[in-house]
Amino acid sequence: MRFAAIALLLSCAAAAQAAPPHVHGVALLDVAVDGATLSLHLDSPLDNLVGFEHAAYNPSQKATLDKMVAQLNRPEQLFIPTPSAGCKAQAPKLVSAVLEPAGKTAAPHGHVHADMDADFVFQCAAPQNLHGMEVKLSALFPRTHTVKVQIAGPKGQSGAVLESGNTKVSW
Ligand SMILES: [Zn+2]
């Protein structure tokens, strides 16, 4: 009994080292403003976006994943930079274990977690007007109740925690 408990502790420690545990409901968003380029990196538990963290087992889950991908592929509906800055989104880069072709994903067992890592880039025609952004992640994905934002902007580094309907960051 005692040995089993120790073995379990050790395996948890090893797992924790491999990848820090994420917190369901909380997404991390890195914002970098560099001249006319606004770059965003979203790191979100998949649960926030679709309610599960494994490859689709059935048509309903497949449809849910497809809908998420479609929504993430419309960055201008997720992130709204200062309108007068004239920012246009490029095609995002989406990386998640559940989007790997079937057969490449490890069979889920126990407490398996999966993330969505997404990179978004906007090019802004009038970057001198770019002073902030509205983040609509919680509106589109209601399981996301908190977005922790780190900003590297023209005036330096700052951070913000968006929750309870607060959707605006500025820099
Ligand atoms: Zn998880």
Q: What whole-number distance in Å separates Cα of residue 104 and Cα of residue 133? A: 37
The model carries a pTM of 0.83
19 CA distance to ligand 1 middle (Å): 11
15 CA distance to ligand 1 middle (Å): 13
Collect all residues with Cβ–Cβ distance below 8 Å to 90 and sequence separation of at least 6.
Answer: 120, 121, 122, 123
53 CA distance to ligand 1 middle (Å): 6
Per-residue pLDDT of the chain (171 residues; tens, 9 = 90+): 455 554 544 444 444 444 567 999 999 999 999 999 999 999 999 999 999 998 888 999 999 999 999 999 999 999 999 999 999 999 999 999 888 765 555 555 556 789 999 999 999 999 999 999 999 999 999 999 999 999 999 999 999 999 988 999 999
23 CA distance to ligand 1 middle (Å): 7
